[in-house]
Amino acid sequence: MNKNSKLPKLALVIPCYNEGAMLKITIEQLLRLLNDYVEREVIAANSFALLVDDGSKDETWQILQSSSNHFIKAIKLSHNVGHQHALIAGLTYVTNQVDCCISLDADLQDDISVTEEMIANYTSGSQIVYGVRGSRETDKAMKRGTAQLFYKLMKRMGVDLIYNHADFRLLSNRVLVELQKYKEVNLFLRGLFPQMGFKSSKVYYKRKARIADQTKYSFKQMLHLAVNGITSFSNFPLKMITYIGFAIFFCSFIISLWVLFVWTSGRAVPGWASITLPVYFLGGVQLLALGIIGEYLGKIYLETKARPRFHIEEEI
């Protein structure tokens, strides 16, 4: 066995959605990185980057077709399935084809220079290497604040998350194989991998500003991801309904004693406030409870159908 055969075969997995303005820059930097790693014998010569077109409506697929070579592979999903499912499609595709893979976003705001440290950690025995942001200086104040609140909230609910880690990570093929056993439709990969329990390590980096175009991840999508993460890994919202119910019962008992006292003292005065306020309060609590229960029921409904998470239309 020659020296090259011992080098890890690496796949870079990059989901893309309407990244036409950025994609050529991304591919150029990925090619430069892979060439450098192969020349310096960091990775095997047959390593590659897999770009997943998540049903883009711009020229993303045309750019991928024209850029295809031995380092650049691509698959096209038949329709837009969302970032997490597109990422799963890429991870599934490279399973058993490589020794390890690194997932990252197409905007390359994650610092790809630290991938060498990730590979070094993998060769030292780590099955998962998390890319962790050292700071959130490039984020706007609102996004930074909501992100930090989300991580703290998940921690309070008992969900094991890596603080300031998104989807920039290295996974060994062993982890990829185990990942195929998870068939749920409602995916939250940031909570899934820490739960697996494989040997892991962290690599810290500074997130860069976006070079071109604007982020495709809207506030609505981030909110959906947060709700999905909470409801996929914690039943705390359901327990919260019970806690609120006990609190309301206790308050109602105290108010009942007060009303009884006022009535027996002969000072009772009929008033709309004592009627309308409890009605509005209890109505709001009931709607909140039904909404939380409905969220969990909706997830059960989607899981029981067990439909495919993605369809590959084309590959190059």
CA gap 121, 119 in Å, rounded: 5
For residue 155, what pLDDT band results from cuts at 50, 70 and 90?
Answer: confident
Q: CA–CA distance from 225 to each of 76, 84, 146, 176 (Å)?
A: 23, 9, 12, 22
pLDDT in tens, 32-57: 999 999 999 999 999 999 999 999 99
For residue 179, what pLDDT band results from cuts at 50, 70 and 90?
Answer: very high
For residue 116, what pLDDT band results from cuts at 50, 70 and 90?
Answer: very high
Domain boundaries, the chain: 3-142+161-214+309-315
pLDDT in tens, 189-219: 888 899 899 999 999 998 877 665 555 555 5
User: Mean pLDDT throughout 152-172?
Assistant: 83
- Give the residue with greater pLDDT, 15 vs 240: 15
For residue 53, the cross-strand partners are: 16, 76
pLDDT confidence of residue 4: 47
- Give the residue with greater pLDDT, 138 vs 298: 298
Residues above pLDDT 70, as percent of the chain: 79
Helix, strand and coil content of the chain, in percent to the nearest 5, comes to 50, 15, 35
User: In the predicted model, is pLDDT for residue 9 greater than 80?
Assistant: yes
CA gap 302, 72 in Å, rounded: 34
User: In the predicted model, is pLDDT for residue 19 greater than 70?
Assistant: yes
Instruction: Give domain 3-142+161-214+309-315's CATH number out of 3.30.1330.10, 3.90.550.10, 1.20.120.1200, 1.10.275.10.
Output: 3.90.550.10
pTM (2 d.p.): 0.75
CA gap 101, 94 in Å, rounded: 8
